[in-house]
Amino acid sequence: MGGLAHGFPHAPGDIDDSVVRRARELRGPWTRCGVVMPVVTRVRKVQAPDGKHQHIGGVCTAEGTYVSRQDVAAAMDAGEAWWSEGGGTRVRIRKAPYCPYPECVTFPYLTTAPDHSRANNLENLPWC
Ligand SMILES: [Zn+2]
């Protein structure tokens, strides 16, 4: 009985550090499994071709980099996960077939999955 198999300390990976990790995520680049997740904090709206409404032309990341709507869609096509952050919460950005404005056929468009927060809705982010 006894021996080395007994009483081994927990390896660092065994410790539930989700609280620590979450605190760290809210600063600096956010990574999951070592991959940097682009986080969008602002959007840039542009005049639509019909002149009657404005829709998202691109986004600005937490680092302040502007990325066009087409480039975000292409990055997501390539497998990247993009997130929208507002009001302290994040939600995944999705590709939408078209701008939600009736009769607007601008595509691809970007949207966010509905969740409990409206603050992180892509359409509600501050402009950049
Ligand atoms: Zn539109």
- Kindly give the distance from the C-alpha atom of residue 60 to the centroid of ligand 1, in angstroms, as a whole number: 19
- DSSP annotation of 50: T
Strand boundaries in 54-125, DSSP class E:
54-61, 66-68, 83-86, 89-96, 109-112
pLDDT confidence of residue 123: 94
* Per-residue pLDDT tens over the stretch 64-105: 999 999 999 999 999 999 999 999 999 999 999 999 999 999
pLDDT band at 117 (very low <50, low <70, confident <90, very high): very high
pLDDT band at 22 (very low <50, low <70, confident <90, very high): low
* pTM, two decimal places: 0.75
- Kindly give the distance from the C-alpha atom of residue 125 to the centroid of ligand 1, in angstroms, as a whole number: 17
- Beta carbons of 32 and 39 less than 8 angstroms apart: no
- Kindly give the distance from the C-alpha atom of residue 14 to the centroid of ligand 1, in angstroms, as a whole number: 48
